[in-house]
Amino acid sequence: MRLTIPSRLLLLFLTCCTIVFLVQPAKAKDRGTGEPITTCIVRDRPGLTSTQLLRPSTPFSCLTDQRTLGPGNYWIRSSPLRRGGPVNVRSASLWQGTQNLYALYADGAIVRTTIDQRHASRYMQLGALLEVPLPGRNAPLVRLLWQVDDAANLRGIVRDPMLATDAESVRSNLLLGGLYAAFAGLCIALLSYNFALWVALRHRFQLAYCAMVLGLLAYTVSSSGYLAWIYPDIGNNDRIRCNYLLLGLSTVAAFAFARAFFEERVFAGRVGTLVQISCGITFTASLAFFLFGPLQVRLFDRLYSLAFVLQMAMVIPLLWRAWVLRSNYLWVFALAWAMPIMMATVRIVCSLGIIPWNFWLDNSTIVSMTVEALLSSIAIAYRMRLLSNERDEAREREIAARLLADTDPLTGLLNRRAFLNQAIGRTGEQILMIADLDHFKQVNETVGHDGGDEVLRVFARTLCQVVPADALVARIGGEEFAVVLAAGGAFDPEDILAGLRAERMPYDVTITASIGVCVGTLEREQDWKALYGCADRALFEAKSAGRDRARVRVLTNQRTVQIVPPLAVIR
């Protein structure tokens, strides 16, 4: 299915935004959040002390990419600084054991701050940033030194350190707080709206969408660092384990939403099986990292990344099959998922060490899933519109089928079954008229069956024009018609005969009819049998008397009595 021009323009816009986002990460992250710090690194070995390493003469490597050094214990030293007054040292929170931060001042004083797993949450700021406040002294700050033990080095050892004033720290929290709050408010609104729709309409894709949004909301609470504010005693590594689990569950829920959103035929066969397998692998990898990550964090992190590679790869055959099968929902799915898929792919490439890590890339999930959540809502609205159209069409087809089932196809009158369903059960005395065309076999022989059919249609039209509007009119046999109406009304069966005589028939043949009338109750099926037998006998009397006339009987206590003249009972 081809994308429309607006859809292509939106995809192009999202792609351009992503490229700009990736090409200029450094400028975006440094603006208004503090002064970046250049660092050098050396692996820890016996005999190294903070006093020794704070000297400029101690050799450090300033060009080595931290991620190439593997896990272990490290010392990281800053370039020379000249900063007076109180200041905050900010850096990304990473998987590690204990971190000691040494601050050297111009007067030779060294201030040490220890951050272990148990107390890391006390230093957590929005964006999952560790912020260590350094008190103001008479002498300016000249150098920083980090001692990091048990660093997993998945994304680095000390990432993006910077110096920030209290005002810059507040500005950063306000900026990120606004971003996270906007996303949380969007999630809550979408959850409330779609859950209410699910309660009313019970479509599976609505519940799957709610599960996906709920997972993303929980992931945002954890990845933003807000979980540390809610639960100050949680270890930072435990918070990261929650990140992995919640992101994996959100991805599985997203594919469950896609499965419920698309037509069933899209996920039929091998594609559906492969998607199920990839979701199972992603769930297992996420749960394994959460449960066993501390035992071998680098191994489980790599398995987790590879599971996401497989999950993203499943999008290709899924979209291809949807395109081949001409899915009605392909274009809205492609629009909603374009940016999340691109950003997830970039994050996987980053986690595998192919491109550099940066703060905004690590938080790109929030932005991309905001776009996805909004566009998925449009997709759901589109799906609801199609379902509404399908429901209306099905209802129209049902009504048409019901009309066909209840209607005689030749004359448009009720057929015998529909006539009996509506006639039996009427309260009060009823008039049943049985009309039969005279010598109809000869009519067919004279003008043919097509002419005979036209005669039946003319007679049916005459009945509808003459009898009262609330009467039931039906064709109950070949040339036999029935009329039921309430007794007591001013109606004369002779009007039917007169109307028939006045009609122009095919080939100008003369057509007459005989009518048998009976008055009685129609509350039960037994009443119908008795009333029909009575009217049939009246019809026989009309034919015996020379045809082209009506005879009336009244049914009393299962016995019939002939009434003359006919209008005595009917009026």
In whole angstroms, how far apart are CA 548 and each of 139, 437, 457, 516, 519? 127, 9, 19, 11, 20
Specify the amino acid at residue 2: R
So which residues are the catalytic ones?
Answer: 479
545 close to 512: Cβ distance less than 8 angstroms: no
Contact 395, 452 (CB under 8 A): no
Q: How far apart are CA 298 and CA 309, in angstroms?
A: 16
Mapping DSSP onto H, E and C, the string for 463-524 reads HHHHCCCCCEEEECCCCEEEEEEECCCCCCCHHHHHHHHHCCCHHHCCCCEEEEEEEEEECC
301-304: long-range contacts at Cβ-Cβ below 8 A with a sequence spacing of 24 or more? Answer: 301/152, 301/154, 301/351, 304/244, 304/248
Q: Round to whole Å and give the CA distance between 222 and 241.
A: 10
Per-residue tokens: 300: 């489980």
Q: Are strands 472-475 and 162-164 parallel, antiparallel or unpaired?
A: unpaired
Q: Which residues, at least 6 apart from 551, have a Cβ–Cβ distance to it below 8 Å?
A: 515, 516, 517, 538, 539, 541, 542, 545, 562, 566
Which residues have CB under 8 Å from 251's CB, separation 6+? 279, 282, 308, 311, 344
Distance (Å, whole) CA 501 – CA 495 = 10
CA–CA gap between residue 469 and residue 171 (Å, rounded) = 79
d(CA 365, CA 362): 7
What is the C-alpha to C-alpha distance for residues 569 and 219, in angstroms, rounded to an integer?
83
- d(CA 229, CA 232) in angstroms, rounded, equals 5
Classify 83 as helix, strand or coil: strand
Q: What are phi and psi of 524, to 5 degrees?
A: -130, 170
Q: How many CA atoms lie within 13 Å of 71's alpha carbon, on the beta-carbon side?
A: 14
Phi/psi for 151 (5° steps) reads: -75, 125
Task: Kindly state the helix (H) or strand (E) to which residue 163 belongs, with its residue range.
Answer: strand 162-164
Q: Report the amino acid identity of residue 271.
A: V
Alpha-carbon torsion, ordered 495, 497, 502, 503, to 10 deg: 110
